[in-house]
Amino acid sequence: MMRCVGMGVAACAVLLLGLGQVQATTTLYLTTRDTSPVTLAGVTFERGDIVAYKMESGTASLFFTGKDYFRKSDGTTGAAANIDGLYVYADGRILLSTDGTARLGATPLKFENGDIVLFDMASDTASIFLAGSGSSSIFRASGGARGAAANVDAIHLMDNGHLLLSTTSQEKLGTNLLVIRAGSIVEYDPVNDHASIYFASTLFRTSAGAFVGPDAINVDGVSMFGGSLLLSTNDDPARLGAPPDMLTFHDGDVVMYDRATDEAKIFFSQDLLQCNAKDIDGLSVLTWGQSQEAVIPEPVTPVTACGLVLGALGLAGYLRRRTARA
């Protein structure tokens, strides 16, 4: 067996990784917009919580309990909030947005539904990462001035420092005054204040396979996995991908989409959620152990979903094959 004598933890991990002795783990972080509790792999969570789901093992745990951190106007915990945009750093810090006014931190930070907040659970501190409300808002008024209010409902921080964003309604963003739609995913460069379309809202399809209009579908969750886009929608059903392999999916599914090939497949199925509340709102994916590849992880242990036990082989096949053709 290879030993890391005299090496630090990070250096050892890199060495073992190169030798193929470290197995990748992929964790999917999810929030829900449903007002009733949701159960995933035996763990119950509700609006304001973040659940961590380990894809390979099919196990879940509560990563963030909203009522322990969101603050009331008097500064005490126990406030209700809905996290509708989410990005989780490898060190456990969180970027988030909410669908209304909320407060976070031991010294409470009050923020609005267009703001992106950086929160550190370890120190219980919060700060504005990007403002989407007030005079410093990154969003633009009709005349082009900054300061327009918006509702951000999907977040992903890219390796180059840009952000993938989606909003609940039509907005303008960047010095180039890019018009974005509820179903669009925008790449935003905060240094140069420039925005571009990363995923167009018109890529969604009708039941007949035609492209939809620009405001037909609302994207409410976004992440990346191995160069492929992950997304969820507020609409149920929604459709992506070129016929005859068009995928029909639901508001509790997470879809992996390849922009180059116009191919979509289920990354996470809402059928793993028990049982009457299945609307995913925010999502983030973190992979450790090797470079991400756009291959859906296969659970190695059975997962219970609404009383139905899906074995590893059955679930893996289900996740790969679940498509609905027009």
Identify the residue with better confidence: 140 or 304.
140
Model confidence, pTM? 0.84
Residue 296: what pLDDT? 66
Tens of pLDDT, residues 179-220? 999 999 999 999 999 999 999 999 999 999 999 999 899 999
Identify the residue with better confidence: 309 or 194.
194
In a domain, 13, yes or no: no
Residue 321: what pLDDT? 37
Q: Please name the residue ranges forming H helices in the chain.
A: 9-18, 66-69, 312-321
In a domain, 159, yes or no: yes
Burial bucket for residue 261 (CB in 10 Å: 0-12, 13-18, 19+): exposed
Tens of pLDDT, residues 128-180? 999 999 999 999 998 899 999 999 999 999 999 999 999 999 999 999 999 99
Structural domain including 197 reads 24-321
Beta-carbon contacts of 229 under 8 Å, excluding residues fewer than 6 positions away, are 185, 198, 199, 222, 256, 257, 258, 259
Whether residue 299 is preceded by a cis peptide bond, meaning omega within 30 degrees of 0, is no
In a domain, 122, yes or no: yes
Largest CA distance in the chain: 66
Tens of pLDDT, residues 209-258? 999 999 899 999 999 998 899 999 999 999 999 999 999 999 999 999 99
CATH number at residue 281: 2.120.10
Q: Which of 53-67, 80-94, 244-258, 288-302 has the lowest mean pLDDT?
A: 288-302
**Whole-angstrom distance, CA of residue 27 vs CA of residue 225:** 11
In a domain, 271, yes or no: yes
Identify the residue with better confidence: 301 or 114.
114
Q: How confident is the model at residue 22 (pLDDT cuts 50, 70, 90)?
A: very low
In a domain, 130, yes or no: yes
In a domain, 177, yes or no: yes
Q: Residue 74 corresponds to which amino acid?
A: D
In a domain, 120, yes or no: yes
Q: How confident is the model at residue 262 (pLDDT cuts 50, 70, 90)?
A: very high
Instruction: Say if residue 66's pLDDT is above 80.
Output: yes
In a domain, 302, yes or no: yes
Instruction: Say if residue 20's pLDDT is above 60.
Output: no
Query: Which residues are paired to 157 by β-bridges?
Result: 163
Residue 18: what pLDDT? 40
**Number of domains forming the structure of the chain:** 1
Please tell me whether residue 48 adopts helix, strand or coil conformation: coil
